[in-house]
């Protein structure tokens, strides 16, 4: 409960600078799978034209590892991230292709990916 009994409604004033997406799998043909290219389904994107706006944006997969590691000037943490970039549209249904600095692990399939709203031209 907030002090004074008043509860805040609506979105967080800071907002979030990313759109939610799901890692659906790797680019593939009938028999071959290409793990260096990941496929993303972005929430609210259902066609090729809407998906085109996201090409060039940064993608981020955040996960928790078993062991803590120390980052520069920070406390040890289990949280790690893999950065990538959306490269092009895949098909007509609004799916996007992405390349990550390290290939996404298979355990990430079906998990949440953050599509950062930068770099932006608007």
Say what the pLDDT of residue 73 is.
Answer: 87
Residue 1, pLDDT score: 52
56-81 confidence digits (pLDDT tens): 999 999 999 999 999 888 899 999 99
Alpha helices, DSSP H, located in 11-113 = 48-52
Domains of the chain by residue range: 16-116
- Between CA 117 and CA 113, with CA 79 as vertex, the angle to 5 degrees is 35
Architecture of the 16-116 domain: Beta Barrel (2.40)
Residues 6+ away with beta carbon under 8 Å from 23: 38, 39, 40, 61, 104, 108, 109, 110, 111, 113
Do residues 59 and 86 lie in contact, with contact meaning Cβ atoms separated by under 8 Å? yes
User: Which run of H or E residues covers position 100?
Assistant: strand 95-100
Cβ pair 35, 94 in contact under 8 A: no
Reported pTM? 0.85
pLDDT at position 10 over 70: no
């Amino acid at each position: 409960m907030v002090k004074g009994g008043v509860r805040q409604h609506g979105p967080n004033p800071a907002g979030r600078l990313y759109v939610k997406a799901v890692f659906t799998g790797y680019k593939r043909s009938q028999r071959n799978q290409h793990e260096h290219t990941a496929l993303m389904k972005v929430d609210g994107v259902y066609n090729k034209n809407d998906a085109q706006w996201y090409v060039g944006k940064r993608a981020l997969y955040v996960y928790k590892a078993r062991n803590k590691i120390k980052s520069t000037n920070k406390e040890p943490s289990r949280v790690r991230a893999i950065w990538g970039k959306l490269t092009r549209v895949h098909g007509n249904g609004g799916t996007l292709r992405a390349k990550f600095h390290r290939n996404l692990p298979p355990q990430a399939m079906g998990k949440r990916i953050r599509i950062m709203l930068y770099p932006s031209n608007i």
